[in-house]
Amino acid sequence: MSAVSARVPAERSLGQVVSIYGGQGGVGKTSVCAGLAALLAEAGYRVVLVDLTLRLGSDLALSLELEPDPNFADLLPAIDTLVPTTMEQYLLPHKSGMRLLAAPISPDRWQRIGEGHVEKAIHLLRYQYDFVIVDLASSFDNRVLAVLPISSRIYTLVTPDGIALQNVRDLIKLLRLLGYGGRTRLVLNRLTSKEFLTVPEMETITGQPFDHVIPEVSGRKRWMEGGKNPATIVKGLKTMFTELTGKGPEASQLIGRRLLPLISNLNKTKNEGADAETGQDDTQPCRQTLQSLVHQRVIEQVGPTRLDYGEDEGRATAQLTAQVIKVIDDLLLEQVGNRWSQKEHHTFREEMVDEILGLGHLEGLLRDPKITEIMVNGCDQVYVERRGQLVLTDKRFTNDNAVIKIIERIIAPLGRRIDESSPMVDARLADGSRVNAIIPPLSLNGPMLTIRKFFDESLGIDDLIRFGSLSKEMAEFLQDCVRHRMNLVVSGGTGSGKTTLLNVLSSFIPTDERVITIEDAAELRLQQPHVGRLEARPANIEGKGAVGIRELLRNALRMRPDRIIIGEVRGPEALDMLQAMNTGHDGSMTTGHANSSRDLMSRLETMVMMGSVDLPLVAIREQITAALDIVVHQERFRDGSRKITEISWIEGMQDGNVRLVPLFAFRQTGTDADGRVQGEFDRVNSPAMLHEQMQEQEAS
């Protein structure tokens, strides 16, 4: 295959791979393949069909009235020397302009075709054609699993039949687990059977709405009769046509360039001798073959219904892990025996468990307690923050599709999806770690994934003192502020440790008070026994159902809270927060992005104005001074350390402006030989009025 990568022009854009799939036969896959190809060919696109139905004969060849000679099996002897132009001799031309790579007519010839042959053939076709439409088998054969990762769209067909609808529900779950949820589209084919259910009833069974519907049409004719496109028949395919042709080629071009050399390496023939990586001889299966076998057997033996965790997620996950490990060990015993060392067995088992049930390459980074943040910049760069410093790791993904697969696996259980129409998503892992993902076309260097890890062991105030984030005197002062029910806001930049500090400060709240927390993504872990936790909800796929911080804050006021803690204010909810602090919820806390305590005051004014409330600036500032008491500003320094650089008291108004009185400040004196920041925490002011106010707050 090295000859292929050497002779293919790298600058040529690659076509899209479109898979047509169904959980069972008789759902109209062949007709949809032919009809969709006809629409694309009629519009001037270069289209090739690939028949992978794994049945006797070629359904597509029969549908198009073509003799399946030559067919897929005929190209096998020359597969390692083929280039895109020489692939043409194995394709059947149709009068509509499309081409067909037909299926073999005998089962024995089918058995010779491996997943590597399928991958190579499809990638070579992508260099010559705008669209490669693949008619997949109904079962999860290795050759089917080879096509799914390189498909830009997986159209899953279902008919208006109760059993078929139930089967496709489990099928969609499985595709999401495998990481293909964002590329999967559910298509209802109403042409093939009589309906006894309404569309809403069918969507209830499948658990999700249909992305496309092929309507019932009287007088069903041959899709390709006369090589023309009967518009009445293909009406339901036009939305699929629009979805496919509206996508630019840039992303698929980048992915394809990276996949082609990968496949060239993965599919070397066994008679080349010992394996370069493991030192195995030609009688031993390569790691990639074993990986494919593991995936297939997990699907066969565990099944999609067993992969749904249900209510007891912890117990079910442990059982599922044990089942997957057993499948891996049985396969290694069967295929490898004692030719691998114990270490090789353990490494392979760990990699496969991470890939099937976890987040692949990222699992090891998530388990490392020294890593606080993971940043994936496309498939070639994975950075981590370790001890406050950004470090480039040696982790690499094979292609951008592998990164998108990880993103989809994270967001699929949340009912979210990421694709060209919705290229950004915020989510969190099961352990509470915060996740942000963005993909092309918004991201120019491939899919980007950022994971801010959550640690079960919450830090205490003594830990912050030990880390040098504040002095003991500052810690005692902040503890007094919380216990005396002072309203407090923590400011700072991204990654400065605002949420961590807020979590520490909340530990000073007395245990007999009712606390309500409100967050975009739940990160706070309060230790008090009486805590109500609220989390915002983003819009669904249809752009509906969003519940923001502001709505949750208004609801929290009806929940009889003693204190309200908001993870972060960044919009018009700032006004509601200030009003809540002014109406009997003393001791409330929040955080906000700002470069200094003074800058936070300006940002609060702007956020209040975002609420479309016609308040004069003086009135807004009066609201701020009446509601807030203490501002704690924290910064992240070049050495990765986080320090509280300023604690200020909001004394009141002066000349129409908010008057801030600095109480504590960090003075940097320099850096040591290792580049660590050196400095001192100073007490700047100790106003008598502040102490009087704290006493009054406690008495009230």
User: Do residues 214 and 148 share a domain?
Assistant: yes
Sign of CA dihedral 454, 456, 461, 465: negative
- Asked whether residue 114 carries a pLDDT value surpassing 90, the answer given is no
pLDDT, position 590:
92
pLDDT, position 255:
29
The span from the CA of 496 to the CA of 499, in Å, is 9
pLDDT, position 437:
93
Asked whether residue 406 is assigned to any structural domain, the reply reads yes
Task: Compare 447 and 5 and report the one with higher pLDDT.
Answer: 447
pLDDT tens for 288-312 read 667 767 766 776 666 544 444 444 5
Q: Is the peptide bond prior to 441 cis by the omega test (within 30 degrees of 0)? A: yes
Name the residue range of residue 545's domain: 461-699
Lowest-confidence pick of 113-122, 198-207, 314-323, 464-473: 314-323
Asked whether residue 81 is assigned to any structural domain, the reply reads yes
Q: Are strands 448-452 and 371-377 parallel, antiparallel or unpaired?
A: antiparallel
CB 54 within 8 Å of CB 110: yes
pLDDT, average across residues 608-637: 87
Place 601 in a pLDDT band, splitting at 50, 70 and 90. very high
CB 52 within 8 Å of CB 136: yes
The span from the CA of 101 to the CA of 96, in Å, is 15
Residue where a domain terminates, one of 305, 336, 357? 357
- Asked whether residue 478 carries a pLDDT value surpassing 80, the answer given is yes
User: Do residues 173 and 299 share a domain?
Assistant: no
Lowest-confidence pick of 282-291, 337-346, 479-488: 282-291
Q: Is the peptide bond prior to 70 cis by the omega test (within 30 degrees of 0)? A: yes
pLDDT, position 217:
52
The candidate with the shortest Cα–Cα distance to 35, out of 177, 192, 262, 162, is 192
User: Do residues 447 and 509 share a domain?
Assistant: no
pLDDT, position 108:
67
Asked whether residue 278 is assigned to any structural domain, the reply reads no
Residue where a domain terminates, one of 207, 231, 250? 250
The span from the CA of 11 to the CA of 159, in Å, is 42
* 131: exposed, middle or buried (Cβ count in 10 Å: 0-12, 13-18, 19+): buried
**Residue in the block written with tokens 């076998």:** 293
pLDDT, position 112:
81
pLDDT, position 253:
35
User: Do residues 564 and 602 share a domain?
Assistant: yes
pLDDT, position 61:
85
Asked whether residue 345 is assigned to any structural domain, the reply reads yes
Q: Are strands 184-189 and 424-428 parallel, antiparallel or unpaired?
A: unpaired
- In this structure, the number of other CB atoms found within 10 A of the CB of residue 315 comes to 11
Asked whether residue 273 is assigned to any structural domain, the reply reads no
The span from the CA of 595 to the CA of 616, in Å, is 25
Lowest-confidence pick of 16-20, 43-47, 339-343, 367-371: 339-343
The span from the CA of 411 to the CA of 422, in Å, is 13
User: Do residues 331 and 369 share a domain?
Assistant: no
Place 11 in a pLDDT band, splitting at 50, 70 and 90. very low
User: Do residues 557 and 484 share a domain?
Assistant: yes
CB 352 within 8 Å of CB 431: no
What is the domain count for the chain? 4
- Asked whether residue 109 carries a pLDDT value surpassing 80, the answer given is no
The span from the CA of 44 to the CA of 42, in Å, is 5
442 token code pair: 């918004």
Q: What is the largest CA-CA distance in the chain?
A: 97
User: Do residues 118 and 93 share a domain?
Assistant: yes
Residue where a domain terminates, one of 452, 477, 512? 452
Distance of CA 275 to the CA centre of its chain: 34
- Asked whether residue 134 carries a pLDDT value surpassing 70, the answer given is yes
Q: Are strands 131-136 and 424-428 parallel, antiparallel or unpaired?
A: unpaired
User: Do residues 376 and 398 share a domain?
Assistant: yes
pLDDT tens for 564-581 read 999 888 888 888 888 888
Q: What kind and span of H or E run contains 35?
A: helix 29-42
Asked whether residue 571 is assigned to any structural domain, the reply reads yes
CB 411 within 8 Å of CB 404: no
pLDDT tens for 178-219 read 777 778 888 888 765 555 677 777 878 887 788 888 776 544
User: Do residues 218 and 298 share a domain?
Assistant: no
User: Do residues 665 and 539 share a domain?
Assistant: yes
Task: Compare 689 and 272 and report the one with higher pLDDT.
Answer: 689
In Å, how far are 84, 119, 129, 485, 629 from 122, measured between CA atoms?
10, 5, 10, 67, 65
Mean pLDDT of the chain: 79
pLDDT, average across residues 110-129: 85
Residue type, 190: R
CB hemisphere CA count around 634 (13 angstroms): 26
Domain CATH code at residue 551: 3.40.50.300
pLDDT, position 133:
94
User: Do residues 521 and 600 share a domain?
Assistant: yes
User: Do residues 552 and 433 share a domain?
Assistant: no
CB 202 within 8 Å of CB 165: yes
Asked whether residue 558 is assigned to any structural domain, the reply reads yes
pLDDT tens for 410-421 read 887 666 778 777
SS (H, E, C) 576-601: HHHHHHCCCCCCCEEEEECCCHHHHH
Q: Is the model's pTM score more than 0.85?
A: no
Cross-strand pairs, 446: none
- Asked whether residue 377 carries a pLDDT value surpassing 50, the answer given is yes
The span from the CA of 475 to the CA of 463, in Å, is 11
The span from the CA of 153 to the CA of 240, in Å, is 10
Residues 6 or more apart in contact with residue 46 via CB below 8 angstroms: 15, 97, 128, 129, 130, 131
